Structure 1
Amino acid sequence: MSGGPFRAWLSVTTGSVALVPTFFELQDDAALLSFEHQLHLSETIGEHAWETDLAEPRFSFTGSHPLTCTRVHLLGSAAPGPKSWLWAWANPSGYRDEIIELALAVRAFGEEHNVPELSQAEIPFDAMPGSPTDPAHVTALMMEATKAVTKQWTGYQGPVGGGTRAGFLIEHPEFVLPAPAGPRVSRVLQQGLADLHLYDHRRAFHAYAVNRGLGAQHNGPQMYISGPGFSVSVQFNPQNLVTAMSVNMGQQ
Structure 2
Amino acid sequence: MPTFLELQDDAALLSFEHQLHLSERVGEHSWRVDLAQPLFEFTGENPLTCDRVHLLGSAAPGPGSWLWAWANPFGYRPEVLGIALEAKEFGERHGIPELAQPEVPFDALPGSPSEPAQVASLMMEAAKVATGRWSGYQGPVGGGTRAGFLLEHPELALPPATSARTMRVLQQGVLELTLHDHRRAFGAYAVHRGLRVTEDGPLWISGPDFRIAVEFDEQNLMTKMSATLGAPG
If the length of structure 2 is used for normalisation, what is the TM-score? 0.97
| C-alpha displacement of 1:251 | 4.7
Counterpart of 1:248 in structure 2 is: 228
Paired residues for 1:180-199 under 5 Å: 180-199=161-180
| SS of residue paired to 2:150 | strand
Of residues 196, 203, 218 in structure 2, which corresponds to 1:215? 196
Matched residues, number? 232
| SS of residue paired to 2:80 | coil
Of residues 88, 103, 109 in structure 2, which corresponds to 1:107? 88
Paired residues for 1:73-92 under 5 Å: 73-92=54-73
Q: Structure 2: any 5+ residue segments left out of the alignment?
A: none
| C-alpha displacement of 1:243 | 1.2
Equivalent-residue separation in structure 2 for 1:138 and 1:201 (angstroms):
22
Question: What residue identity is the alignment partner of 2:209?
Answer: G
1:204 corresponds to 2:199: no
Equivalent-residue separation in structure 2 for 1:219 and 1:79 (angstroms):
47
Of residues 108, 117, 122 in structure 2, which corresponds to 1:127? 108
Question: What residue identity is the alignment partner of 1:189?
Answer: L
Equivalent-residue separation in structure 2 for 1:56 and 1:225 (angstroms):
42
Contact 2:38–2:51 (8 Å) recurs in 1: no
Equivalent-residue separation in structure 1 for 2:177 and 2:109 (angstroms):
17
Question: What residue identity is the alignment partner of 2:129?
Answer: A
Equivalent-residue separation in structure 1 for 2:46 and 2:81 (angstroms):
27
| SS of residue paired to 1:99 | helix
| C-alpha displacement of 1:43 | 0.2
Of residues 122, 127, 131 in structure 2, which corresponds to 1:141? 122
Moved over 4 A (4+): none
Equivalent-residue separation in structure 2 for 1:35 and 1:249 (angstroms):
23
If the length of structure 1 is used for normalisation, what is the TM-score? 0.90
Paired residues for 1:3-22 under 5 Å: 20-22=1-3
1:48 corresponds to 2:29: yes
Question: What residue identity is the alignment partner of 2:80?
Answer: I
Task: Name the structure where helix makes up a greater proportion of residues.
Answer: 2
1:228 corresponds to 2:199: no
| C-alpha displacement of 1:109 | 1.3
| C-alpha displacement of 1:250 | 3.1
Percent sequence identity over aligned pairs: 65
Deviates more, 1:109-118 or 1:188-197: 109-118
Equivalent-residue separation in structure 2 for 1:82 and 1:45 (angstroms):
33
1:238 corresponds to 2:218: yes
Equivalent-residue separation in structure 1 for 2:220 and 2:21 (angstroms):
28
1:16-73 alpha-carbon deviations (Å, 9 max, x no partner)? xxxx211001011110000000000000001100001101111111001111103000
Equivalent-residue separation in structure 1 for 2:51 and 2:144 (angstroms):
28
Question: What residue identity is the alignment partner of 1:113?
Answer: H
Question: What residue identity is the alignment partner of 1:128?
Answer: L
| SS of residue paired to 1:100 | helix
